[in-house]
Amino acid sequence: MFEDGFVKKGIKNLIIGLTNKMISKEVVNLVASSFILCGGISAIATFPLIPSAPVQAQSDEDTNIRVYKLASPAVVSIQTPSGNGSGSIIDAKGLVLTNAHVVRGTTTVNVILSDKRKFRGVVIASSRNPDLAVIRLEGVTDSLPTISIASSTGIQVGQRAFAIGNPFGRFAGTLTTGIISRIDSDLKLLQTDAALNPGNSGGPLLNSRGELVGVNTAIFTTTSVNSGIGLAIEADTVKQFIAAARNGAIANNPQPNLAAPMVINLNGNPITATLTAKDRTLPDGSYYKSYQFQGVAGQAVVIEMRGNGIDPYLVLFDSSGRKIAEDDDGGGGKNAKLALTLPTTGRYTLYANSYEVGETGSFVLSGRLSDNVASESTNSPILLQKIGKLGSESRIFARDGSLFDSFSFTGQAGQVVQIDLMSPDFHPYLVLFAPNSRFLKENNGLPSRRSASMTIELPVTGTYRTIVNAYDRNGKGAYKLTVKRVR
């Protein structure tokens, strides 16, 4: 799965190496492992022919049991509309630490404690880099067990490592053991051979004292099988993120009571509004306003958002809360536009959002019925155009350390589109995913090393995602991405 529920920008880790690059980088597998751990079941390890000394074996067993008893009560399972993950309770009043990709695209989650108690959780802090988030549990009346966080200073290659989590969303409280295999000081990541699988995302990597030394975030795999190389965000980075969160949204700005969504009338007067720092925020920190309208299955609707000082971004959900469409630049320039046929009858929810985190400014929002969605969607040949820069604000693929940005556009079944990525500064790598997150196509930028292009007939109608990536981990700098309809 490329993204967790409503994901933008980001869809704004996660969640790669394809044809030529598939051989050298295996980016497709990395995308999934960057956002939700995507390795399969690891092979059963063979035991050494020479047994360990009985005393040492007993000591290892005692350590395993002690670490599990210390830490497991504070390890939780997290359920979102799009998947499952793990987390650690870091405050007895109900703060849970996890990966941002676990909760990306949603503001509320279900959290299940080790004793089977269930809480509603509100995402109150989230970051792309590092891939971390904090959840506040609602309705906590007693003191919860917690996990203490160690210092990265004393971590050494070869020391024992313990992972506890909810692999595959079905085996909560699973303990696996291994060692710290490698320390990547540049990326602030710990490598471990403790088995990690889907659902372990956001769970703790522990030392022999039951202290958190890392947050499990990804695995390296060249196939669908767990390769025995897991990656965790180191403890000092975790501490810095928690401190920043506590000094901001968590400690000083409690979640306000949210007003009901405003009504937008199709074929009514346009709405003029302003995104401000007082508005609701998505988990990535961007501001948004919420609107609703009543829709009928089969209706063709067009919704446009034009910004003044912001880069508009639109996201549409059906009555069940399922994201059905999103757009960044479909309205021409930086304006957003959705043109679609409604799949069901019910109340739809629309997010008027900004592409960039922290943007504030005015916008005009309008909605109308249409006789021909296809013609509405193809007025302009330019479906998406972005001038950007791979750098400190970009996300990082945990597997190889290369930088990437993610963008989306709305396409119609049968459209032929050309996607061009050009950069004067780095060797570009281009990837395209279908609305169901299935990999469609890639281009490795060879032989030019300054541009990557593809032309493809879109198989279905929906929101497509294209990845702007650097071929190697040192690649960074300016780029221009254009998606245009050629027929």
List the catalytic residues: 101, 131, 201
The token pair at 473 is 């981990």
Copy the structure tokens of residue 68.
């599990």
Residues paired with 82 in a beta bridge: none
Q: Show the tokens assigned to 315.
A: 């996201």
- Residue pair 444/452 in contact (Cβ under 8 Å)? The answer is yes
Q: Cβ distance 400 to 30 under 8 Å?
A: yes
Q: Is cis: bond before 428, omega within 30 of 0?
A: no
Structure tokens at 145: 């067990």
CB 397 within 8 A of CB 404: yes
Which residues on neighbouring strands pair with residue 166, listed in sequence order?
A: none
Query: Which residue is associated with the tokens 């990306």?
Result: 104
Exposed, middle or buried: residue 57 (CB in 10 Å: 0-12, 13-18, 19+)? exposed
Are 246 and 132 contacting, i.e. CB atoms less than 8 angstroms apart? no
SS3 for 57?
A: helix
Question: Cis before residue 73, ω within 30 degrees of 0?
Answer: no
- From 347, 339, 246, select the one nearest 300 (Cα to Cα): 339
Which positions ≥6 away from 277 have C-beta within 8 Å? 287, 360
Q: Which amino acid is at 444?
A: N
* Residue 120 identity: R
Chain centre distance of CA 336: 22
DSSP 88-131: EEEETTTEEEE-HHHHTT-SEEEEE-TTS-EEEEEEEEEETTTT
Kindly report the number of other CB atoms within 10 A of residue 25's CB atom. Answer: 24
**155 in helix, strand or coil?**
coil
Please state, as a whole number, how many other Cβ atoms lie within 10 Å of the Cβ of residue 67.
22
